[in-house]
């Protein structure tokens, strides 16, 4: 009789592992399960963070827009502060020039009638009389301001008033 291989069945002996081999396999299975759970937790955390990425990108764009707006406002304020400080410096220089001119010029004599005459409604004054007004001579020249164009008009009015008071 002729036997073919298909008809032949082979059986193997049952696995007979030693006790320490079974313990090592069990420990490896437990470790593999713990690593799988940890990997799944970390992967879900990464996926959650990636889902939040478009929101973070939008918030960053909003913050960038606000920062650009603040920078332009800061530039405008800085320009205004620079102009104000320049104007104050010019005004201070003009005041120093006027003060020097007034110190070097001689003040004209001003005659005020004495208050020994009749008092107001017959009552003596309660307070001492105010100090006499001081007039500046008309020959004082006031400089013009390059920053404040209205200052020359003010100085012109003062000069006219002084000339009227001196006459």
Q: Do 136 and 107 meet the contact criterion of CB atoms below 8 Å apart?
A: yes
Q: The dihedral of CA 25, 28, 34, 40: what is its sign?
A: negative
| Res 85: pLDDT | 85
Interior CA angle at 93 toward 90 and 98, to 5°? 125
95-115 pLDDT, tens digit per residue, is 888 888 877 776 655 555 555
55-87 pLDDT, tens digit per residue, is 999 999 999 999 999 999 998 888 888 888 888
Q: Do 101 and 143 meet the contact criterion of CB atoms below 8 Å apart?
A: no
Read off the pLDDT of each residue in 141-151 and give the average, rounded to a whole number: 56
Q: The dihedral of CA 24, 30, 33, 37: what is its sign?
A: negative
**Dihedrals phi, psi of 36, to nearest 5 degrees:** -65, -45
Q: Do 142 and 158 meet the contact criterion of CB atoms below 8 Å apart?
A: yes
| Res 63: pLDDT | 95
The C-alpha atoms of residue 65 and residue 58 are separated, in whole angstroms, by 11
| Res 1: pLDDT | 46
Read off the pLDDT of each residue in 137-144 and give the average, rounded to a whole number: 59
How many CA within 13 A on the CB side of residue 64?
Answer: 6
Q: How far apart are the first and last CA of the chain?
A: 160
Query: What global pTM score does this model have?
Result: 0.34
Count other Cβ atoms within 10 Å, centred on residue 76. Answer: 10
Q: Which of 113-117, 125-129, 152-156 has the lowest mean pLDDT?
A: 113-117
Q: pLDDT at residue 126 above 50?
A: yes
| Res 47: pLDDT | 92
4-45 pLDDT, tens digit per residue, is 555 666 666 566 677 888 889 899 999 999 999 999 999 999
The C-alpha atoms of residue 151 and residue 136 are separated, in whole angstroms, by 18
Which residues does 43 contact at the CB level (< 8 Å), separation at least 6? none
Percentage of the chain with pLDDT > 90?
Answer: 24
């Amino acid at each position: 009789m002729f036997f073919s291989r298909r008809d032949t069945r082979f059986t193997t002996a049952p696995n007979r592992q030693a006790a320490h081999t079974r313990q090592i396999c069990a420990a490896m299975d437990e470790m593999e399960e713990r690593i799988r759970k940890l990997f799944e937790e970390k992967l879900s955390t990464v996926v959650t963070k990636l889902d939040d990425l478009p929101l973070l990108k939008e918030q960053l764009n909003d913050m960038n827009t606000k920062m650009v707006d603040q920078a332009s406002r800061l530039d405008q304020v800085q320009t205004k502060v620079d102009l104000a400080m320049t104007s104050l410096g010019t005004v201070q220089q003009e005041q120093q020039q006027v003060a020097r001119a007034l110190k070097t010029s001689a003040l004209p004599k001003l005659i005020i009638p004495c208050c020994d005459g009749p008092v107001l409604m017959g009552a003596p004054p309660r307070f001492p009389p105010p100090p006499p007004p001081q007039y500046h001579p008309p020959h004082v020249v006031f400089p013009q301001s390059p920053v404040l164009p209205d200052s020359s008009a003010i100085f012109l009015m003062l000069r006219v008033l002084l000339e009227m008071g001196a006459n």
